[in-house]
Amino acid sequence: MSDGAKVGDWVQIERIVLPAGERAPQVPEDTQEKPLVMRVKGFAQHEAKLGEQMTVETVIGRRESGRLVEILPIYDHDYGRPVPELLTVGNEVRRLLEQPGAPEGSEGR
């Protein structure tokens, strides 16, 4: 299955947990207009093509079902762009700790 998953493949599924309009009342209006979607990565328990229903077993053994959206999904999250003001903090703290009168036990850090 070139456009599908085989048993044991690492895949990602998604399932709508709450449809748009059924979210908690305190959720902002623009969020209220979107469904709450759960995405889960795990090992395929049967063959399926992209877009079809799939059951996966997660690395901790939980079983979930949803629509197959990706085979061999990548981890594409990050912490965003560096904050220039934070780039030098480590060196600044080391310099402060090396100064006379620095807190006891701070040498060598």
Secondary structure (H, E, C), 50-84? CCCEEEEECCCCCEEEEEEEEECCCCCCCCCCCCH
Give the rounded percent of residues in the chain with a pLDDT score beyond 70.
94
Which domain, by its residues, includes 55?
4-75
What residues contact 86, with CB distance under 8 A and at least 6 apart? none
Provide the CATH number for the domain around residue 57. 2.30.30
Q: Is 13 part of any domain?
A: yes
* Number of domains composing the chain: 1
6-15, 84-93, 98-107: which range is least confident on average? Answer: 98-107
pTM above 0.75, yes or no: no
Task: Provide mean pLDDT across the span 105-109.
Answer: 58
Is the confidence at residue 106, as pLDDT, over 70?
Answer: no
Q: Is 106 part of any domain?
A: no
Q: In this predicted structure, what is the pLDDT of residue 105?
A: 65
Q: Is 69 part of any domain?
A: yes
29-41 b/e (C-beta count within 10 Å ≥ 16 → b):
eeeeeeeeeeebb
Residue 76: band (very low, low, confident or very high) from pLDDT cuts 50, 70, 90: confident
